[in-house]
Amino acid sequence: MKKVTINSVASHAGVSKKTVSRVLNNEPNVSAATREKVLAVFKELDYTPNPIARGLAQNRSFIIGCLYDNPSKSYITRVQTGALEACKENNYNLLIHPCEFRGEALINNIEQLLQTSRLDGIVLTPPFGDFAKLVSFLKSKKIPYARVASALLQDDSISVRSNDEQGAFEITEHLINLGHKSIAFIKGHPDHSATQQRFKGYRRSLASHGIEFDERLVEEGNFSYHSGVDSARSILDLSPRPTAVFASNDYMAAAVLKLATQRQLKVPDDISIAGFDNAPIARHIWPGLTTIAQPVEEMTKQAVTQLISHIAQPQEQPYQVTLESRLITRESTSAIK
Amino acid sequence: MKKVTINSVASHAGVSKKTVSRVLNNEPNVSAATREKVLAVFKELDYTPNPIARGLAQNRSFIIGCLYDNPSKSYITRVQTGALEACKENNYNLLIHPCEFRGEALINNIEQLLQTSRLDGIVLTPPFGDFAKLVSFLKSKKIPYARVASALLQDDSISVRSNDEQGAFEITEHLINLGHKSIAFIKGHPDHSATQQRFKGYRRSLASHGIEFDERLVEEGNFSYHSGVDSARSILDLSPRPTAVFASNDYMAAAVLKLATQRQLKVPDDISIAGFDNAPIARHIWPGLTTIAQPVEEMTKQAVTQLISHIAQPQEQPYQVTLESRLITRESTSAIK
DNA sequence: TGACATTATGACACCGGTGTCAGGAATTTA
DNA sequence: TAAATTCCTGACACCGGTGTCATAATGTCA
C-alpha cells in the first residue's frame, strides 16, 4: 500500500499541490467545483495530512507541553484529563513533562525541552505558574503559555484559577457554624500560591466570627501525605486539643484522619477533619472527608483551549478567569458536642 | 537572534550540511579533525537539531504513544512515570492517549491517532495488551508496540509483566499462615489478564493447604473502588462471615475496609483485609493494607526502552520478561483469634 | 466591447534535516 | 612508483507540506 501524500491527491485530482493545500486549510480563492473535486479525492484515497511535514513548513509541532511537579498524583491526573480534552478538540497532542520545581536547573531543563520538542505552547500547573523567573523566561523566548490555578497577575497572559480564598473561607465557616472555635490549620507548600490563599480564607472566616487567631494551631505542611502526618502529630499533641482540623488538601487531611484513628480518636465525634480539593481519597476513606471541590479539569481545559487559540491567532487582551469551587460535606465533620 | 540550523553550522564550520549530519548521527567516515571542528561549532552556536525536520526526513516522530483505560488512576501515574524515564533517556517524548477499551470504535480511534500523530511506537498498558484485535491490527500496520503486564503470548513482541499468579499465591499463603481458612476473594475486571492470574494464585494456595474452594466467597469486581463497595457488601453479609478478604487490587480492598469500618467491624481483629498493587492508598489509610508490591514503573520503563531500541533496530527475538513482585505486610491482616 | 479589477491556479522556493552517489584524497598493495 | 583500495567529503534530490508571486480565467464597469 503506497503512502497517500499531498502529491498523490494532487495528481489524482488533476490539480497542483498548492490547490490541495488550499482546500486542506480552508483558504479562500478556490472555486467550489475544484474544492469538491479535491474533497472527493480526500475521501477516495483516505488522505490525512502529515503533521510532521506541516509542522516543518510552519515551524509548529501541534504539541502542547504540560509542566508539573506536584505531590498530589491525583491532581496531576485531573490536570492531564482536562488538558487532553482541550487538545483532542483541537487536534493537538499533549506532552507531559514532570520536572523538579526547585533548583537552578529548571530554566535549563525547560530550555532543553523547548529545543528538543518544539512545543507550540506550555501549560504551567501549580506551582510553576507562580514562578516569576520561568514566566519571564518564556515571555522572553516568546513561547505561549497558560497558567493554571496561579495567582492573578497584571499581565497579558492566559490564566484560569479558582477562588481558593473563598473556598477556604466557606469550609471554615462550615466548621464554625458547627460550633467549632478551636480549629487547627495545616498549610500547604510555601511555593504554591494556593497556600497563601487558603490560609487567608481561613483567617477571614475566623475574624468574621470574632474568633481570635492562634498561631499555635497552625502547622506548616507541603501538600504531601507525609507532611500531613508530621503536622497531625503536632496538632494531636496539643493540649487542649483543637476540636477541628482544616488541612489545605485532602492528602494531608487523610493523614490527620489516619493518625487520629491510630490514636483511638473517633472522627468526627472527638475531632472534625476537613480537607481541600475533593481528591478521590476524600471519598475512599471512612469517614469521608468534608472538602472543597475544585474544577481542576475544567480549569485546565479552559486554559489549554485558550492557549491553542492564542497560538493560532495571538490575542490582544488577556484571558483571566476565576471559576467557582464548592463545599462538599461528608462524615468527617460534625457539630461539637 | 537568528535560528541556528544545520546550514548555519555547516557554513560556520566550512563544511557541507551532510558532513554536519554525519557528525550529528555519529556516522563513520568523518575525519577526527573535521568532527572536532563541527562539534566545536555545535557548542559555539548552541545548536540543537530540529526534531521535526529530522522526523520528516526519516518518517519518524520520536514520539511514543501510551494507551490506557484503567480505573486505577494511581496505576496510570506509575505507568507514565516509568514510560517517561525511558523516553527521557532516549530523547523520545511521550504522548498519552486515554481511550475507551470497550466498543467497536477502538480500532478506528487508534487508526485516527496513528494518522494524526505518526507515532513511532505504542505502549499497551492493561488491558490493551490482551486485546487480540488491537494487537493484530498494530501488527498488520507494522506499528511497533510493547505490552505491559499482559499475558504471555507466543509471538515476536515485546512484553514485560510481573508474576501476578505468584503474588496472589503468596498473599493467600500469608493469610492462611495466620490461621485463616475462610478467605473471600474479589475478582478484578474480567478483561484484564491479571484478573485470571490473581484468581489462579488464590486457588493454588487454597489447594496446597487442602482448603476447599468455596464459590460463595468469590465476588466479581472490576478494579474500581465502586465495584469494591458492592462486593464488600455481599461479603460482609455472608453468614458465617469470612475471617479474611483478599481483593484483587488496593482500591477494592480500601472499599472493603471502608464498609467494614462503617459497620463497626474492627480490622484486622474482626476481619483481615489484603489488597494487591501497593497503590498509595494502601499506606494512606488506617489500618494500612497488606498487599503485593508490583514494579509497575520498572515494567513500563523496560517495555518502553525495548520498544525504542526495537524501533531503531528491529530485533529478531522477542523480549519477554517477568519481574518479581513482593509481599508487603501492614496492619490490615493479623492472626485469627 | 474594451479597460480594469478580482478570483483562481500553478510554478517554484523553502522549512531543516537525511539518503544516494560520485569523485578526490589518503592509504595500502604489488 | 603505479595501481588498487579505502576513506572523506560534498552536490543534489527528497521527505510532505506551506508561502510567494506570476499569470490565466473570470467578472465588472463605463
b/e burial code for range B292-313 (CB count within 10 A of at least 16 → b): bbbbbbebbbbbbbbbbebbee
Query: Between β-strands B145-148 and B121-124, what pairing exists: parallel, antiparallel or unpaired?
Result: parallel
Return the residue of B nearest to A46 by Cα: B115
Residue B121: which pLDDT band, with cuts at 50, 70 and 90? very high
CB contact under 8 A, A285 and B52: no
Cell of A19: 490547490
Q: Which of A63, A96, A255 sits opposite B84 (nearest CB)?
A: A96
In-domain check, residue A114: yes
Cell of B263: 459497620
Note whether B191 and B289 are same-domain residues. Answer: yes
Mean pLDDT of chain A: 93
> For residue A162, what pLDDT is reported?
94
Place of cell 487442602: B210
Task: Give the CA-to-C1' distance from A50 to D16 in angstroms.
Answer: 7
- CB of B18 within 7 Å of some strand C atom: yes
Residue A175: what are its φ and ψ, rounded to 5°? -65, -45
Residue B1: which pLDDT band, with cuts at 50, 70 and 90? low
Residues of A in contact with B259 (CB under 8 A): 286
Note whether A77 and A154 are same-domain residues. Answer: yes
> For residue B102, what pLDDT is reported?
76
Determine the Cα–Cα distance for residues B253 and B244; give it in Å rounded to an integer. 11
What count of other Cβ atoms lies within 10 Å of the Cβ of residue A322? 14
pLDDT at A168 over 60: yes
Angle separating helix axes B105-117 and B132-141, nearest 10 degrees: 30
Determine the Cα–Cα distance for residues B74 and A210; give it in Å rounded to an integer. 42
In-domain check, residue A227: yes
> For residue A1, what pLDDT is reported?
58
In-domain check, residue B55: no
In-domain check, residue B332: no
Q: Which residues contact A78 (CB under 8 A, 6 or more apart)?
A: A296, A297, A300
Contact B2, B8 (CB under 8 A): yes
What count of other Cβ atoms lies within 10 Å of the Cβ of residue A278? 25
Determine the Cα–Cα distance for residues B79 and A153; give it in Å rounded to an integer. 36
Return the higher-pLDDT residue of A186 and B117.
A186
Note whether A149 and A239 are same-domain residues. Answer: no
Determine the Cα–Cα distance for residues A315 and B137; give it in Å rounded to an integer. 43
Minimum-distance nucleotide, CA of A56 to C1': C15
Domain count, chain A: 3
Task: Give the CA-to-C1' distance from B91 to D7 in angstroms.
Answer: 31
In-domain check, residue A310: yes
Residue B123: what are its φ and ψ, rounded to 5°? -100, 125
In-domain check, residue A306: yes
> Who among residues 159-218 of A has its Cβ near strand D, under 7 Å?
none
Angle separating helix axes A296-312 and A73-89, nearest 10 degrees: 40
Using a CB–CB cut-off of 8 Å, the residues of B that contact A are 48, 50-53, 55-56, 61, 63, 73-74, 76-77, 80-81, 84, 91, 93-96, 98, 115-118, 225, 251, 254-255, 257-259, 261-262, 280-281, 284-286
Neighbouring-strand partners of residue A67:
A97, A124
> For residue A150, what pLDDT is reported?
87
- CB of A17 within 7 Å of some strand C atom: yes
Using CA atoms in the order A152, A158, A164, A166, what is the torsion angle rounded to 10 degrees?
Answer: 70
Residue B51, min C-alpha distance to chain A (Å)? 6
Using a CB–CB cut-off of 8 Å, the residues of A that contact B are 48, 50-53, 55-56, 61, 63, 73-74, 76-77, 80-81, 84, 91, 93-96, 98, 115-118, 225, 251, 254-255, 257-259, 261-262, 280-281, 284-286
Query: Between β-strands B291-293 and B326-328, what pairing exists: parallel, antiparallel or unpaired?
Result: antiparallel
pLDDT at B6 over 60: yes
Note whether A77 and A106 are same-domain residues. Answer: yes
Residue with CA nearest to C10's C1' atom = A16
Return the higher-pLDDT residue of A316 and A292.
A292
pLDDT at B217 over 80: yes
Residue B333: which pLDDT band, with cuts at 50, 70 and 90? very high
Q: Domain of residue A93: give its range.
A: 59-161+296-324
Note whether A208 and A91 are same-domain residues. Answer: no
Residue A72: which pLDDT band, with cuts at 50, 70 and 90? confident
Residue A254: which pLDDT band, with cuts at 50, 70 and 90? very high
DSSP string covering A134-183, please?
A: HHHHHHHHT--EEEES----SSSSEEEEE-HHHHHHHHHHHHHHTT---E
Q: Residue A236 CA to chain centroid, in angstroms?
A: 32
Q: Residues, chain B, total? A: 337
Comparing CA positions, the residue from A64, A113, A70, A114 lying closest to residue A89 is A64
b/e burial code for range A89-107 (CB count within 10 A of at least 16 → b): ebebbbbbbbbebeeeebe
Note whether A182 and A260 are same-domain residues. Answer: yes
Note whether A175 and A278 are same-domain residues. Answer: yes
What's the CATH code of the domain at A40?
Answer: 1.10.260.40
Return the higher-pLDDT residue of B111 and B209.
B209
Contact A267, A333 (CB under 8 A): no
Residues of A in contact with B255 (CB under 8 A): 284
DSSP string covering A6-46, please?
A: HHHHHHHHTS-HHHHHHHHTT-S---HHHHHHHHHHHHHHT
Contact B201, B238 (CB under 8 A): no
Mean pLDDT of chain B: 93
Considering only CA atoms, give the Rg of chain B: 25
Contact B305, B86 (CB under 8 A): yes
Q: Residues, chain A, total? A: 337
What mean pLDDT comes out for the span B324-332? 96
What's the CATH code of the domain at B276?
Answer: 3.40.50.2300
Residue A95, min C-alpha distance to chain B (Å)? 5
- Nucleotides of strand C under 7 angstroms from a protein beta carbon: 7-20
> For residue B85, what pLDDT is reported?
94
Number of H helices, E strands in chain B: 13, 12
Residue B207, min C-alpha distance to chain A (Å)? 33
What mean pLDDT comes out for the span B258-283? 96
Integer distance in angstroms from the first to the last C-alpha of chain A? 77
Note whether B75 and B41 are same-domain residues. Answer: no
pLDDT at A2 over 80: no
pLDDT at A201 over 90: yes
> For residue B264, what pLDDT is reported?
94
Q: What percent of chain B lies above the pLDDT cut of 90?
A: 77
> Who among residues 1-40 of A has its Cβ near strand D, under 7 Å?
3, 5-7, 17-18, 20-21, 24-25
Q: What is the pLDDT of residues A203-234, one digit of tens each?
A: 999 999 999 999 999 999 999 999 999 999 99
Least confident residue range of A1-5, A281-285, B24-28: A1-5
Identity (one letter) of the amino acid at A282? A
Note whether B152 and B300 are same-domain residues. Answer: yes
> For residue B305, what pLDDT is reported?
95
In-domain check, residue B207: yes
What mean pLDDT comes out for the span B204-216? 97
Residues of A in contact with B50 (CB under 8 A): 56, 118
Determine the Cα–Cα distance for residues B138 and B121; give it in Å rounded to an integer. 10
In-domain check, residue A241: yes
Note whether A302 and A257 are same-domain residues. Answer: no
Note whether A119 and A155 are same-domain residues. Answer: yes
What mean pLDDT comes out for the span B250-268? 96
Q: What percent of chain A lies above the pLDDT cut of 90?
A: 76
Residue with CA nearest to C16's C1' atom = B53
Q: What is the pLDDT of residues B137-155, one digit of tens each?
A: 999 888 999 999 888 887 7
Residue B211, min C-alpha distance to chain A (Å)? 32
pLDDT at A80 over 90: yes
Contact A279, A252 (CB under 8 A): no
Cell of B289: 493494607
Note whether B133 and B32 are same-domain residues. Answer: no
Q: CA B107, B109, B112, B118 torsion: positive or negative? A: negative
Return the higher-pLDDT residue of A269 and A115.
A269
> For residue B61, what pLDDT is reported?
87
